[in-house]
Amino acid sequence: MAEHNYDKQVEELVRYYKQAVERIKSELDRFDLSDFSRANQLATLKNIADILKGLNEDAAQWVADNIPMAARAGVADAIVALGVVNTAAEAMQIVKFNRVNKELVAAAVADTQADLLAVTQNVERRVKATVRQVVGEAMRQNLAQGINGRRTMNADIMAGLRGKLGDSLNTGIIDSAGRRWDPKVYVDMLSRTKMMRMTMDATINEAVDREAYYGQISSHGAKDACRNWEGRIVKLVADAPGDYPYIGDLPGREIFHPRCRHTVSPIRRPDRYE
Ligand SMILES: [Zn+2]
């Protein structure tokens, strides 16, 4: 069974985010904290919105290319595992999405695009709120000028406000478990997990369509909880006969967790693998 490595694709997507973050950082560095005009704020926020708009377009295109690619790889896996052809290259020639896979791919593309859009919306909201807060604080400092005989803003205060602007880019995302993520790290985890998941779901759908109702979990000498599942036989549909766990019921903390590299290889006769 082919082991899939989506590092190259994930790195490309993460690079889009890194580049956007760098460009936003330099917008924030250029932002003049002594200019309290609304026009100054709006110009910066507009530039940031434009950067994020470009990022959203690149990310949406990436998803439209890569989620179907991951699904094709999954279908090819099933075709090879079931002995229809001998090589992955031959399998790729005959890959077609069955009805279930067609729908699944469309849904996964939409879901992943929505998840990535939520990342940029989150970044935009935080950056906007921070720019407003920092301008407010700068204005207050300005009002208080003269208290200590200085005419310009204290360098420490200035650096503190600049730091707040920079921080607004680093901890944007809070996941469903309440953990905070750097958006770039989150995008890496999300896209990698979605691609692996897509590949496996496409494999299962192709296998079931070809009347193979069991699968064997791949082995690569895992060190985490997955190791207990390596080589195990599972059912691909809940009501297949036999005393095997159904793949959909496996504990997500132990196997097929985020970033998990394990896959399932379809088989027709589980008794031959025991
Ligand atoms: Zn694993």
**CA of residue 261 to ligand 1 center, whole Å:** 5
Cβ neighbours around 254 below 10 Å, total: 14
**CA of residue 2 to ligand 1 center, whole Å:** 15
Calculate what percentage of the chain has a pLDDT beyond 70: 95
Residues 263, 218: contact at Cβ < 8 Å? yes
pLDDT confidence tier of residue 179, bands split at 50, 70 and 90: confident
Q: What are phi and psi of 258, to 5 degrees?
A: -55, 140
- pLDDT for the residue 27: 92
pLDDT confidence tier of residue 236, bands split at 50, 70 and 90: very high
Cβ neighbours around 46 below 10 Å, total: 11
Rounded (10°) CA dihedral 136, 137, 143, 145 = -150
**CA of residue 156 to ligand 1 center, whole Å:** 47
- Residue scoring higher pLDDT (271 or 174): 271
**CA of residue 11 to ligand 1 center, whole Å:** 20
pLDDT confidence tier of residue 112, bands split at 50, 70 and 90: very high
Query: What are the tokens at 154?
Result: 């204290």
**CA of residue 10 to ligand 1 center, whole Å:** 18
**CA of residue 70 to ligand 1 center, whole Å:** 17
* pLDDT at residue 177 greater than cutoff 70: yes
**CA of residue 179 to ligand 1 center, whole Å:** 21
Q: What is the amino acid identity at position 53?
A: K
**CA of residue 251 to ligand 1 center, whole Å:** 12
**CA of residue 83 to ligand 1 center, whole Å:** 25
**CA of residue 194 to ligand 1 center, whole Å:** 14
**CA of residue 229 to ligand 1 center, whole Å:** 8
Over residues 239-268, the pLDDT tens digits come to 999 999 999 999 988 999 888 889 999 999
**CA of residue 216 to ligand 1 center, whole Å:** 13
